[in-house]
Amino acid sequence: MTTTRNYLEQIGRLEIQVPNKVVEVDPNFLSQSDSDMSRYWSLFKENVGRFSWHYHATVPFITEESMRLGMTMCKFAEWLSVQRNDNIKYYEISGADAVHGRTMAEYSNGLIRTLTDSPDLANKEDFYRLLKHNYSKLYHGSFVDITPEYLASEPELEWFKDGFDIVHMWMTLQFYCSDRDTQIFYIKKVLKEDGIILFKEKLLIPDQEQYQRNEDNKDKLFKSLYFSEEVIESKRLNALVKGKGLGVGQVDFETCVTAIKKHFKFVYLIWNCGNFYELAASDNELMISKFLEILPPPYMPDPFSTEKDLPRQL
């Protein structure tokens, strides 16, 4: 994990894996959305930190997915705040420089209060450099430190002492280990009983040839727009080896879904781009049904789209 952290810290300082240009949202996506999405995108661009700059140039159409989810959460928060007469509490696990949390909090004028964790100093620097409001907090450390007891003991985190309405996990569990059952059990402790949890994961599939085709599409049709072939090859050889580096705790789709379903009654696949997946889960049918009702269709052009009919209950 120390080696991985050093690697991610270098990325956050733009010492390695530096994109050659800034990622722009697909104009076709904006043309299919309302004017609120364009305003959200303008705000999001102002909040992007160094690590997020790299991240959005690495995963195909993750920028559009971030817009889709961000606007959905803001609208969901409007509905939920009426039900509870309170602000909405959002926690993003390993959210880097917190571009998503900071943007949602700013766009909603504090209706959403956010907590992000990151152990990397570069992300901490960018968080405070870019923060323009008082609605977001950063914990400089690992998600394993964020427990109900810790939240209750820290005056600065008093907003979150009763737990979170939404927890968003950003492809970090694979950096620790493959025991999704234990990881999800641990994370669920800070989620409210009727809360929603979102998982972003890069997952293995039984068809290894299809998995490799997905990787090739990602590298040749998307990452090549932002990185040289030498940079892409360097990451492929040094960081993306299965069972090592960034993939030390990577699991397959079935293992991930089985673990989530063990802890939550309602589980949906809401986004899929090649080998990248996003799942939403909750124990409360009303809450997740309302969230999915607000959620627009995913934006995923061919050949990256492997599922057309989403969300899909699992």
- Domain holding 106: CATH number? 3.40.50.150
314 is a domain residue? no
313 is a domain residue? no
Q: How confident is the model at residue 41, as a pLDDT?
A: 97
Q: How far apart are CA 60 and CA 84, in angstroms?
A: 36
Tell me: pLDDT of 242 over 60.
no
279 is a domain residue? yes
Q: State the chain's mean pLDDT as an integer.
A: 93
pLDDT tens digits, residue range 115-124?
A: 999 999 999 9
52 is a domain residue? yes
What is the band of 1 on the pLDDT scale with cuts at 50, 70, 90?
low
Q: At what angle do helices 121-130 and 99-107 cross, to 10 degrees?
A: 20
- Whether the Cβ atoms of residue 67 and residue 232 lie closer than 8 Å to each other: no
Least-confidence region, from 6-10, 199-203, 263-267: 6-10
Closest CA to 312 of 265, 267, 257, 254: 267
82 is a domain residue? yes
**What's this model's pTM, rounded to 2 decimal places?**
0.94
pLDDT tens digits, residue range 105-157?
A: 999 999 999 999 999 999 999 999 999 999 999 999 999 999 999 999 999 99
> Which residues span the domain enclosing 73?
2-308
169 is a domain residue? yes
Least-confidence region, from 17-21, 149-153, 276-280: 17-21
216 is a domain residue? yes
Tell me: pLDDT of 235 over 70.
yes
Closest CA to 277 of 123, 143, 173, 166: 173
Closest CA to 69 of 197, 172, 235: 197
Total number of domains in the chain: 1
